[in-house]
Amino acid sequence: MEKNPCDQMKHGEEEKHLTTKLGGLKTMPFVISTETFEKVASFGLHANMILYLINEYHMSNAKGANVLFLWSAISNFMPILGAFLSDSFLGRFRVIALGTFVSLLGMSLLWLTAALPQATPPQCNGLATESCASPKAAQLALLFSSLALMSIGAGGIRPCALAFGADQLYNPSNPENKRVLQSFFNWYYASVGLSLMVSITVVVYIQDAAGWVIGFGVPAGLMFLSTVMFLLGSPLYIKLMPDKSLFTSFAQVMVAAWQNKHLALPPMESDPGIWYYHKGSKLIAPTQKL
């Protein structure tokens, strides 16, 4: 008798967790601390960045707002690409590892813009605002490169961290599996909330009180800790690799939809009243009301 593909997949996942001592609660300090440090570091830079662009790069309010808007837009788009690479080619561990390295590089470059006097325009003359020098192309290139690298790094970390943590705890043979996963999700989102609170209070205070060099150095140091903590837990992780590219499944769906576009929907009173389903899955009939 031919086995159902879903049953085979479920059986394979059970075997992965039953035949290995990897994963489990011992990986949670590494997973959660990685996400916590990354959140504090990245969001701690957003709050005061407009002041940095205006005071140090002599940008207008409108231009600075445009830069931050584009930075946020790219940061919110890149997780789509990161999720695709994770699910189709590289797997979550590799994408997160690459994301932490790239984010660390971006924050280090941003710190250099504050630490090196040559990286920013000279200070304005307080008596003549018109004498403010505009930033050079090389200075803007360094600034924008740091922001772009941080966006790329965020695209690798944010879409994969939660699912990667769930991979470490998912064990179908454990009767407490559901409760363990729920507890992990609770702690994960609690850590995210705490990270955001610390980032917009403590990190912002450090930037205002100690200056940009230390204010940007602290997030870079936290990102370094995030990278180190994630890699330290590498021998303990369950590292699931993608089975096939999402492009393959997407192409199959599109081809099947095109080939079957002339077929009529089955009558609603028919049994089961749907086109195709896996054994044990929930039966849901298509609707005519779209």
- Report the CATH number that the domain containing residue 175 is assigned in CATH: 1.20.1250.20
Whether 79 is covered by a domain: the verdict is yes
Give the amino acid at 224.
F
pTM: 0.78
Whether 75 is covered by a domain: the verdict is yes
Q: Write down the pLDDT at residue 252.
A: 83
Sign of the Cα torsion 159, 163, 165, 168 reads: negative
Report the distance separating Cα 115 and Cα 122, nearest Å.
13
DSSP code for 125? B
Whether 290 is covered by a domain: the verdict is no
Q: Write down the pLDDT at residue 128.
A: 52
Whether 85 is covered by a domain: the verdict is yes
Q: List Cα–Cα distances, 50 to 57, 99, 118, in angstroms.
A: 10, 25, 20
Whether 280 is covered by a domain: the verdict is no
Q: Write down the pLDDT at residue 22.
A: 80
Q: Write down the pLDDT at residue 263.
A: 77
Q: Considering its fold, how many domains does the chain have in total?
A: 1
Boundaries of domain holding 110: 23-236
Q: Write down the pLDDT at residue 62.
A: 93
Whether 247 is covered by a domain: the verdict is no
Query: pLDDT 10s digit of each residue in the chain, 290 long?
Result: 444 444 444 444 544 444 457 888 899 989 998 889 989 998 989 889 999 999 999 999 999 999 999 999 999 999 999 998 898 888 899 999 999 999 999 999 999 999 999 999 988 776 554 568 889 999 999 999 999 999 999 999 999 999 999 999 888 888 888 888 999 999 999 999 999 999 999 999 999 999 999 999 999 999 999 999 999 999 999 998 887 666 777 788 888 888 887 877 666 555 555 555 556 666 565 565 65
Whether 282 is covered by a domain: the verdict is no
Q: Write down the pLDDT at residue 174.
A: 80
Reference 108, options 224, 198, 195; nearest CA is: 224
Whether 98 is covered by a domain: the verdict is yes
Q: Write down the pLDDT at residue 8.
A: 47
